[in-house]
Amino acid sequence: MGEKQKRKSIPVLPWMRSPVDVSLFEECPLEILPLLDPRLKVALQKTGIASIFPVQLAVWLEVIGPGSFERDLCINSPTGSGKTLAYALPIVQMLSSRAVKCLRALVVLPTRDLALQVKEVFTAIAPAVGLSVGLAVGQSSIADEISGLIKRPKFEAGICYDPEDFSVPLQSSVDILVATPGRLMDHINFTKGFTLQHLRYLVIDETDRLLRESYQSWLPTVLQLTRADDDNIIFPSYTSLPCSAGSLKTIRRFGVERGFKGKPYPRLAKMVLSATLTQDPSKLSQLDLHHPLFLTTGKRRYKLPEKLESYMMICESKLKPLYLVSLLQSLGGEKCIVFTSSVESTHRLCTLLNFFDDLQLNIKEYSGLQRQSLRSKTLNAFRGGEIQVLVSSDAMTRGMDVEGVRNVINYDMPAFIKTYIHRAGRTARAGQSGRCFTLLSKDEVRRFKKLLQKADKDSCPVHSLPSSSIELLHPTYVSALEKLKEKVESETSIKSTVMSSRVGKRKETNSNEKVGI
Residue type, 293: L
Radius of gyration of the chain (CA): 26
Is 451 found in the same domain as 346? yes
Residue 507 pLDDT: 52
**Distance between CA atoms of 410 and 424, rounded to whole angstroms?**
9
Residue 306 pLDDT: 85
Residue 10 pLDDT: 59
Is 289 found in the same domain as 324? no
pLDDT in tens, 462-506: 999 999 999 999 999 999 999 999 999 998 888 777 666 665 555
Is 277 found in the same domain as 325? no
The verdict on residue 415 lying in a domain is: yes
The verdict on residue 236 lying in a domain is: no
Q: Which residue has the higher pLDDT, 456 or 85?
A: 85
**Distance between CA atoms of 497 and 505, rounded to whole angstroms?**
12
The verdict on residue 506 lying in a domain is: no
Query: How would you class 148 by CB atoms within 10 Å of its CB: exposed for 0-12, middle for 13-18, buried for 19 or more?
Result: middle
DSSP string, 334-380: --EEEE-SSHHHHHHHHHHHTTSTT----EEEE-TTS-HHHHHHHHH
Is 481 found in the same domain as 399? yes
SS3 of residue 51 by DSSP: strand
> Of 189-193, 253-257, 429-433, which range is least confident?
253-257
Residue 238 has pLDDT above 50, yes or no: no
pLDDT in tens, 182-234: 999 999 999 999 999 999 999 999 999 899 887 889 999 999 999 854 344 43
**Distance between CA atoms of 113 and 119, rounded to whole angstroms?**
10
User: Dihedrals φ, ψ of 309, to 5°?
Assistant: -110, 125
Residues in the chain: 517
pLDDT category at 258 given cuts 50, 70, 90 is very low
**Distance between CA atoms of 256 and 198, rounded to whole angstroms?**
7
HSE, CB side, 13 Å, CA atoms: give it for residue 15: 16
Is 457 found in the same domain as 322? yes
Residue 252 pLDDT: 34
Is 362 found in the same domain as 278? no
Q: Which residue has the higher pLDDT, 381 or 492?
A: 381
Helices 83-95, 112-125: inter-axial angle, 10-degree rounding:
50
SS3 of residue 133 by DSSP: strand
CB 131 within 8 A of CB 172: no
Residues 6 or more apart whose CB falls under 8 angstroms from that of 166 comprise 192, 193
What percentage of the chain exceeds 90 in pLDDT? Answer: 62
The verdict on residue 450 lying in a domain is: yes
Single pTM value for the model: 0.79
**Distance between CA atoms of 261 and 265, rounded to whole angstroms?**
9
Average pLDDT, the chain: 85
pLDDT in tens, 281-318: 999 999 999 999 999 987 777 888 889 999 999 999 99
The verdict on residue 432 lying in a domain is: yes
The verdict on residue 423 lying in a domain is: yes
Longest dimension (CA), the chain: 88
Query: Across residues 47-58, what is the average pLDDT?
Result: 96
Q: What does the CA dihedral 310, 314, 319, 322 come to, rounded to 10 degrees?
A: -40
pLDDT in tens, 148-174: 999 877 655 555 545 455 455 688 999
**Distance between CA atoms of 260 and 146, rounded to whole angstroms?**
32
Residue 176 pLDDT: 98
Residue type, 433: S
CB 99 within 8 A of CB 196: no
Residue 439 pLDDT: 98
> Of 328-332, 357-361, 468-472, which range is least confident?
357-361
CB 13 within 8 A of CB 281: yes
Is 356 found in the same domain as 273? no
Is 349 found in the same domain as 272? no
The verdict on residue 246 lying in a domain is: no
Is 271 found in the same domain as 351? no
State the residue range of the domain holding 486.
308-490
Residue type, 200: R
Is 406 found in the same domain as 384? yes
The verdict on residue 160 lying in a domain is: no
Is 328 found in the same domain as 288? no
**Distance between CA atoms of 300 and 188, rounded to whole angstroms?**
39
Domain count, the chain: 2
Is 380 found in the same domain as 292? no
SS3 of residue 179 by DSSP: strand
Tell me, what CATH number does 43's domain have?
3.40.50.300
**Distance between CA atoms of 435 and 13, rounded to whole angstroms?**
35
Partners of residue 339 on adjacent β-strands: 392, 410
Our CA angle for 139, 187, 272, nearest 5°, is: 85
Strands 171-172 and 150-151: antiparallel
Query: Across residues 374-393, what is the average pLDDT?
Result: 93
CB 117 within 8 A of CB 429: no
Residue 239 pLDDT: 33
C-alpha distances (whole Å) from 517 to each of 44, 506, 511 are 63, 14, 9
